[in-house]
Each structure stands twice: as structure tokens, then as C-alpha cells.
Structure 1
């Protein structure tokens, strides 16, 4: 009964809040009266509040530009976790564009949707990401190309770093900075999660969104940690595969350190 009540109240908060936030964000995008990320941060924080999720941050977003953020990926909530406190734009897989709420949120923060399995469109998409970085947008790339279970970092796909190469080859920048970022879900009701419980936060593969959302709303009280590493310059002579391996190693190191010693819940 308590879990059902929690789900009802949380969904009510998201719906009512969204009815207010959507018009404000559309107004911001059309008029430029205020930064587009102002409303988005409030919106992301509201969704995290509904989920009962607390965010802990170590390090900070680099001020270097153009900037590509290479992060691991555990769940759709990663977008809310990052978007709640930093000014970033996201790179997401194409099918997310049609999802309820998440798709709308993505469009309202000018997400770049990519079709990873269609080579004919990959060049245009990489070019769009390159242009956005050149304009000063910090773009978040979930470099595994899929979601993990919260225990391990999957191999980073070097092809997804093509936007960095294209930004340089098209003359948009002499170099691009790539910053490793580790995301981890560490505590449930204040208690550190072990390997068996971390998948509670994970949204894996083709799992349906609504059952996962209901499960998170019913569970409540999760802690997420975000760790920022030092940015690495990527220039004309840089090797894309070596860069992908380096970012993967740095993210894995930060994530493992986080899981071994999670921040206190508050």
C-alpha cells in the first residue's frame, strides 16, 4: 500500500511539474529570455526528487571547449543525474526520441539523436555533434553504446568518438577536449548496494521503460555519484581507438573506486 501511494504521489509531482516546465522551456527556446538549462535543471531535479534520488559530485565539468564528455551508461536516469547540476547537451540513440516523457525531455534540451546502425546517416550526425561542440555546447557521449548493470563498465566504442575527429577535420577546432565521467548508483535507503542490488537502478537492453520506472518509484531513496576526471586533448594526430581505451580505463578506475568507498548518504 505504501509503495502504491509513493508511486501515485511521485507520478503526480512529475505530471504537474511538467505541465508548468514545458511551456517555460518552450518560451526559453523561442525567445532566449533566459538560459535554456535553467528550466531543465529544475525539471531534472524535480524528477530526481520524485524518484527519491540523491546526487553526490566529485570534481567538476571542465571549462575547456570544445568539450566531449565520455561517460558510462547505466540507466535513463543518468540524463537527469547529470542534467540536474551541469550545463550539458546529450547524444542519444534514435529510438529515445519517441519515448513518453523522456523523448519530450530530450527534445527540449536539444539532444542529438543518432542511428548507430545506419552508416549512411552517421557522417551527418557526427557533423552535427561537431558543430554543436564548436558553438560551445558540452556534449555528453555515453561511450559504451549501451547500458550496463551498474557493476562493470562495458568496452567503449571508438566509432562514437568520430565527432571529435570531424570537428578537427572540418576546421571547427584545432583540438577537442574529452573528459571522462563515471556515474555510479551506490546506496539504497542509505545502505551501500552490493553486486546483487546495483541492477535495481540499471535499465538494461530492451527492458520496458514503464515497469522499470514503477520499480524505481516504488523503491525510492537511491544515491547516485558522479565523478569528473581530467580532460584529455584530442588533436589531428590523436588515435581514436587509443583515446577510447584511455577514456574507458579512466572511467572504470573512477567507478570502481566509487563502488568500493561510496559517499555517505545525506
Structure 2
């Protein structure tokens, strides 16, 4: 031992107090700031979209009572800002059909498809009747002139008539022919019965929607459940989990429109649109260049 140094001056390692163990699941010191940042981001996004919605409701309430396309343009503006506020960057490839009325047919993986397509297209949605019972959402849906369908056999005729009337008035519609949402990894078979009103439209346009980038990187299979909403998921908890996530990109691929009268029946039309929508979605999931796909005419 060096001269002048007392061996008692420095405690032996086994005599030093041990650091108390953190309870299982507690973030470490360097993880806590990141977790705090995510929570603040989630709160900021939630408050922003709620305030934006509350500010827009009275404006749209007036516009829906006035003639002209102001209500459709304002609805699109509302959805575009809402997407930005919740951290979604919108990329659109292709162009919507210039003809009215158009029946847009899209794949469906989440409630997020509503603001995404609402920000892209000047059209009303066809939605299941349960949406008309959700707090706040029902108000936004009604102000967007959503056509609600129960899909019960007893009301099929009345609901088809309501959709036809909307198309004959010159208003375009957005329809999800899968009939339900899914986990975002595939496109479910289209139900041709949903296309019974296609003959009332001037054009039918296939649309593929995929949430394809997260935090600037390509989205993988494990990322998609954070954006997909299906099964018995609750919309409130899904929204809260979503707003914690880094900014994401969603791509809307608009394929060339077709004249529904050029197809012999709705089953042929449904199969052709399903194939194009599925192939377009596969392009985006596989991070290939997004290219609108024409429906082969028979």
C-alpha cells in the first residue's frame, strides 16, 4: 500500500450500500424521459383534435343547410387537418375521378380510413349503423352526410334506395365492400351485394389504402396492429395507443376509374375491383413503387 494511505479510508466493495431494485416494469432513468415525451405527445394530439373538432362542428352545421359544395370542401379540410393533428402524413398517388357521382371502393383496416379518405375525396361515407351511436363520432358522421346501413335483410331495400338517391343527386360515395375492417395485412373478399347501387354512379373508382411508414421507416407486420382496428378493439383505447406513436405515413392509391355499365353484372365488377385494390395494397405493404393499376376490360 502507498505511504500515507489509510486502508480504512475507502470502503470495501461488499460494504457499500446496494442500489434498491426497481419494481418490475418500472422504466429505467434513461427510459423515463422518452416515456414522458410520448405521454405529452399523446395528450397534445388528443387535446388538439378534440378542440379542432369542437370548433368545426358549428361551421359544418351551417354549411350542410346551404346549397352548393361548401359542405363537402369543408369536410375535406376538417379531415386533412385532423390527420395532421394525430400524426398522420397523407400521400396520394393518382387522381380522383372528375365525374360525379363516383362510387369509390376501398379496402378497410381501421377507423383511421375515415379521416384519411375524407381528406382525399369530396364524398360521403356509407357506414354501419353502429357508428351512428358513438358519442362525438356520430355527430361528425352526420354532419358529413354519412349514409348509415344496418345490413339487416328487412331494411336492405330502404338503405339501397338511400344510396341511390344520394348518387342521383350528384353526390359521390365511399364504400368499403369488405364489409368489415381487418388487421391490415390483406384485403378480404368483396361482397358483390354492396355494389347493387353501382349502376347509379357515373364512375366506379378502386382505392387502396395502406399505413406504410412509421417514424420515417417502412412499416412492418408488427407495426400494422397499431393502426389497424378490428375485432373487439375499443376505439378509445386504440386511439390512445395510436397517439403515442411516432409520426406515420399513409398512402392512398387511386386507380383509374371505370364505367360500371361496361361490366355485365355486379359480381364481375366486384371481382375486378377487388383484384386491383388487393394488388395495389400489396405494392404498398411490400414497399414497392406505388403505381395505379387499370382494371382489365373484358
Pair in the same fold by TM > 0.5 = yes
Distance, in Å, in 2 between the alignment partners of 1:38 and 1:233 is 25
Q: What does 1:65-80 correspond to in 2, within 5 Å?
A: 65-80=100-115
Between Structure 1 and Structure 2, the one with more strand by share is 1
| Cα drift, residue 40 of structure 1 | 1.5
Distance, in Å, in 1 between the alignment partners of 2:263 and 2:187 is 27
Which of 196, 201, 208 is equivalent to 1:162?
Answer: 196
Distance, in Å, in 1 between the alignment partners of 2:108 and 2:175 is 9
Partner of 2:203: 177
Which of 263, 282, 293 is equivalent to 1:256?
Answer: 282
Could you tell me whether the CA contact under 8 Å between 1:94 and 1:113 is conserved in 2? yes
Gaps of 5+ in 2: 1-35, 291-298
Moved over 4 A (4+): none
Distance, in Å, in 2 between the alignment partners of 1:99 and 1:83 is 18
Distance, in Å, in 2 between the alignment partners of 1:232 and 1:177 is 6
Partner of 1:16: 51
Q: TM-score, normalised by structure 2?
A: 0.81
Size of the aligned set, in residue pairs, is 255
RCO (CA 8 Å, sep 6+): is it higher in 1 or 2? 1
Partner of 1:145: 179
Q: Does 1:84 align with 2:119?
A: yes
Could you tell me whether the CA contact under 8 Å between 2:41 and 2:243 is conserved in 1? yes
Partner of 1:53: 88
SS in structure 1 of the partner of residue 49 of structure 2:
helix
Between Structure 1 and Structure 2, the one with more helix by share is 1
Distance, in Å, in 2 between the alignment partners of 1:259 and 1:96 is 28
Partner of 1:171: none
Partner of 1:247: 273
| Cα drift, residue 263 of structure 1 | 7.0
Larger Rg: 2
Could you tell me whether the CA contact under 8 Å between 1:51 and 1:220 is conserved in 2? no
Q: Does 1:113 align with 2:148?
A: yes
Gaps of 5+ in 1: 168-174
Distance, in Å, in 2 between the alignment partners of 1:183 and 1:72 is 6
Distance, in Å, in 1 between the alignment partners of 2:183 and 2:212 is 12
Q: TM-score, normalised by structure 1?
A: 0.90
Alpha-carbon spacing, 1:236–1:14, altered in 2? closer, same or farther (3 Å): same
Partner of 1:170: none
Distance, in Å, in 2 between the alignment partners of 1:237 and 1:251 is 17
Could you tell me whether the CA contact under 8 Å between 1:66 and 1:136 is conserved in 2? yes
Could you tell me whether the CA contact under 8 Å between 1:90 and 1:112 is conserved in 2? yes
1:32-61 CA-to-partner distances (Å, cap 9, x unmatched) read 486002322232123212210001011011
Partner of 2:37: 2
SS in structure 2 of the partner of residue 261 of structure 1:
coil
